[in-house]
Amino acid sequence: MLFGVDNIERIIISAITIIIGLVAIFFLVKWLGKHLKLLKEKTIRTRMVRRAVVSSLLMVGLIALKVYMPSVISDEELLANASHFIIVLLIISGAWIAINATSITRAIVLSNFDLSQKNNLHARKMHTQLRIIERIIIFIIVFIALASVLLTFDSIRKVGISLFASAGVAGLVLGLAAQRVIGSMLAGIQLAITQPIRIDDVVIVENEWGWIEEITLTYVVVKIWDKRRLVVPSTYFIEKPFQNWTRTSSRILGTVYIYTDYSMPIEALRNEFKRIVEQSGLWDGEVANVQVTNSTNHSLEVRFLMSAVDSPTLWDLRVYAREQLVGYMQKNHPDKLPRARVIIGSEDVGSENDRPDQLNFK
């Protein structure tokens, strides 16, 4: 009977389940709104909240349906099949909730670590570790959910038990077949632990200068300065040498070279360079040195060493300093630019036989 005692109890339990679930989702939305407000992008906040609400509503609806379903389905075989289908959906929705919880936890924790700040070494470390840990947890959740769904089928469970004895051989075959994939995943985990690179590190890979934009278990994305993307396997950063300009600090040194005549007063260049970097607004106030690093037959090589808070700022500072120094030379010392000297008509140069009128050309 539809309104029998058992059916009424199931209806009441289903209604209570839905009410409790809706109340829990209401407080969940309020809690997420409070803790996700630190995220700068509103679209990301909205997407996270929407996914959490949809997955939770799906779980509540499936639980209520599982409880109420025997009241409307009298056929035992049909009820068994429907119950099995609901269980599979419950496992999937549970995995979805776990994945959303992992992503939300990562977003809330990382909202306290701003990559845009000047000294962002600790922030880059946390972003790198938590993003890779998140991917590892999601992989485990998906694996467990898939295994749980398969084990709900009797035929697959029996096959699994029969294959358990040969799991060692199967694992060996699988390991050999997926050696490169497993190696890349282990390399990704190693990157998270040892951290030779971090998110937003400035690196030179394959003669390309750029920033670490994304680190996954199997590959790393490098954002090249001209907006291209270089996708590199995780194993590359374990097996091959590369340059990391911000391994211990985002501060970095750069140089500009100017070539002058021997008669150029170096102290004047030193004073002008100090004035240029101080008024640039790009200098961090740490290093500003001028040194003569080489001399040739025709010119002096003067090196201007400067520092900045990060590599993009340093690039702008180097370009600005070079332009200002060249302008200073052109305006104040145009005669001190590199030049070749040719002395003609000196009586002290050469011997008597070297005079043009004494040379015998044949």
* 290 lies in some domain: yes
294-309 pLDDT per residue, tens: 988 888 999 999 988 8
The residue among 126 and 38 whose pLDDT is bigger is 126
In what side-by-side order are the strands of the sheet with 229-233?
229-233, 219-224, 208-215, 202-205, 243-244
Cα distance between residue 37 and residue 33, in whole Å? 6
pLDDT band at 168 (very low <50, low <70, confident <90, very high): low
Q: Which residue has the higher pLDDT, 184 or 320?
A: 320
Evaluate if residue 349 carries a pLDDT over 70: no
Residue 31 phi/psi, 5-degree rounding, is -65, -40
Tens-place pLDDT, residues 267-289: 999 999 999 999 988 898 888 99
What pLDDT does 273 receive?
A: 93
* 279: CATH: 3.30.70.100
Q: Number of folded domains in the chain?
A: 2
In tens, the pLDDT along 125-149 reads: 788 878 888 888 888 888 888 888 8
Is the pLDDT score of 4 beyond 60? no
Angle between the N-to-C axes of helices 266-280 and 311-332, in degrees from 0 to 180, rounded to the nearest 10: 130
Side chain identity, residue 112: N
- Residues 202, 246: contact at Cβ < 8 Å? yes
Tens-place pLDDT, residues 250-262 = 678 889 999 998 8
| 224 beta partners | 210
**Which range (2-6, 26-30, 75-79) has the least confidence?**
2-6
When pLDDT is cut at 50, 70 and 90, the band that residue 159 belongs to is: low
* Average pLDDT rounded to a whole number, residues 150-171: 62
Is the model's pLDDT at 362 over the cut of 50? no
The per-residue pLDDT for 86 is: 87
Of the residues 112, 144, 159, which one is the last residue of a structural domain?
Answer: 112
Q: Is residue 300 part of a domain?
A: yes
pLDDT of residue 335: 86
Q: Among 41-50, 254-263, 331-340, which stretch is predicted with the lowest mean pLDDT?
A: 41-50
Higher per-residue confidence, 92 vs 9 = 92
| pLDDT attached to residue 175 | 59
Name the domain boundary from 112, 143, 167: 112
Q: Which of the two residues, 182 and 5, has the higher pLDDT score? A: 182
Span 48-87, pLDDT tens digits: 788 888 888 888 888 888 777 777 767 777 778 888 888 8
Q: Are 65 and 86 in contact (CB under 8 A)?
A: yes
**DSSP letters along 139-153, please?**
HHHHHHHHHHHHHTS
Task: Report if residue 15 sits inside a domain.
Answer: yes
pLDDT digits (tens, 9 = 90+) for 216-266: 888 899 998 888 999 998 888 888 898 888 877 767 888 999 999 888 899
pLDDT mean over 21-46: 72
| Alpha helices for the chain (secondary structure H) | 5-35, 42-68, 76-110, 121-151, 154-164, 167-177, 179-194, 236-239, 266-280, 311-332
Q: Are 360 and 292 in contact (CB under 8 A)?
A: no
Q: What is the mean pLDDT of the chain?
A: 79
Under the banding of pLDDT at 50, 70 and 90, the label for residue 169 is: low
Residues 149, 155, 161, 167, CA torsion sign:
negative
Q: Is residue 185 part of a domain?
A: no
Q: Which pLDDT score, from 0 to 100, does residue 358 have?
A: 47
User: Which residue range(s) make up the domain with 281?
Assistant: 252-336
Q: Give pLDDT, residue 51.
A: 83
Q: Where does a domain end: 66, 93, 112?
A: 112
In a domain, 212, yes or no: no
208 lies in some domain: no
In a domain, 19, yes or no: yes
- Asked whether residue 191 is domain-assigned, the answer is no
Q: Select the more confidently predicted residue: 192 or 35.
A: 192
- Alpha carbon distance 137, 140 (integer Å): 5
pLDDT at site 290: 92
